[in-house]
Amino acid sequence: MSAGAAAGTESEDRPDLIMVVDDDDDIAGFVAFNLKVHGFDVVRARDGQEALELIEARRPDLAVVDWMMPRMDGVELTRRLRAEPLTSALPVIMLTAKGMTVDKVVGLTAGVDDYLVKPFDTAELMARVSSTLRRNKEFREVSPLTGLPGNARVTREIVDRMKAGGEFSVGYVDIDRFKPVNDVYGFDRGDEFITVLARSLHRAAAAAGRPSVFLGHIGGDDFVFICHPDQVLPLTKHMVTDFEASADRLYDPEDAERGYIEVPDRRGGKQRAALVTLSIGVAQSTAGGRNYMDHRAVVAVASEMKKVAKSQPGSYVAIDRRRLDSENNDDPL
């Protein structure tokens, strides 16, 4: 197999990209012009449906969205953005002629970050765009490598699921033998393995369907998913199959062909390290099983299950299904 190409990275000092979503060409043009004058990059969409189609490809840093639009209005667009893991943290400023408190509540309930009532002046628009971006960058903990939410957002999601009272599962995903990859190939190649895992998680989450799967990156090669218990096995089997196939292509051809890499040890010799696999530990809150009262207990059980998975050969998922009268049920993948 040929070695994988290095993952592309965007320049950290690029201008923020603002998506302007409005079917009124005059207003959209006015907003876009002023954003460009103030140093922002701009992409435009005429309605919510077109915006959804562009967002995955362009990955804007903020969306300025009109309320009233054909096909999909701004409120429905915001709801859709908040429901999907890839766009749940995208900040949204709503532009509207609706100035009543009840209308603002509707927008804010849908997940809008800020609100501008027409007519508005340029200074106010720029101030709100800048302040929303600043808040988002300061308080939104996101991995710069994968774009996935970090520890704080993962914790909030677990707490929210507990408060909602429904059934949920929390999976802790770890790459086996990741350190030898870094030792032999260097950190840049190691980052490619992490990026590949993030992409495999995204594809598996998309294939899992509804309800949407939450994904998080808590650091290094450690990831988290939160989903309905019925989604765990299809989700994990999909991500493992996808990741193993993609990761194999990141090794040097001779290493991939023989199925291991040689890692120098302290004595000047070499140790063999098999190709990477995944260990996945899963904690569950179900009607017939555990009912968690503390998010830390959920994380602790998922970590415990990951250790169980680590003790097994190959990619493995260990699911905690314990009750007072039952044992764990683990699944090789």
Q: Mean pLDDT in runs of 10 for the chain (333 residues)?
A: 33 79 92 95 93 89 91 89 84 81 69 86 92 77 83 91 93 95 93 96 95 93 96 97 96 94 86 95 88 92 96 95 55 62
Domain membership of residue 323 (yes or no) is: yes
For the chain, how many structural domains are there in total?
A: 2
Distance CA 330, CA 333 (A): 10
* Same-domain check for residues 27 and 172: no
* Same-domain check for residues 120 and 254: no
C-alpha angle 245-250-255 in degrees, rounded to nearest 5: 95
Beta-carbon contacts of 147 under 8 Å, excluding residues fewer than 6 positions away, are 59, 86, 198
Residue that terminates a domain, selected from 92, 108, 139: 139
Structural domain including 32 reads 17-139
* Same-domain check for residues 191 and 241: yes
CATH code of the domain in which 248 resides: 3.30.70.270
Tell me, what's the pLDDT at 257?
93
CA nearest neighbour of 205 among 248, 237, 245: 237
* Same-domain check for residues 87 and 156: no
* Same-domain check for residues 191 and 267: yes
Domain membership of residue 145 (yes or no) is: no
* Same-domain check for residues 314 and 168: yes
* Same-domain check for residues 120 and 263: no
Both structure tokens of 305: 């299950």
* Same-domain check for residues 42 and 112: yes
The alpha carbon of residue 12 and the mean position of all alpha carbons in its chain are separated, in whole angstroms, by 19
Tell me, what's the pLDDT at 71?
87
Tell me, what's the pLDDT at 4?
31
* Same-domain check for residues 131 and 178: no
* Same-domain check for residues 24 and 164: no
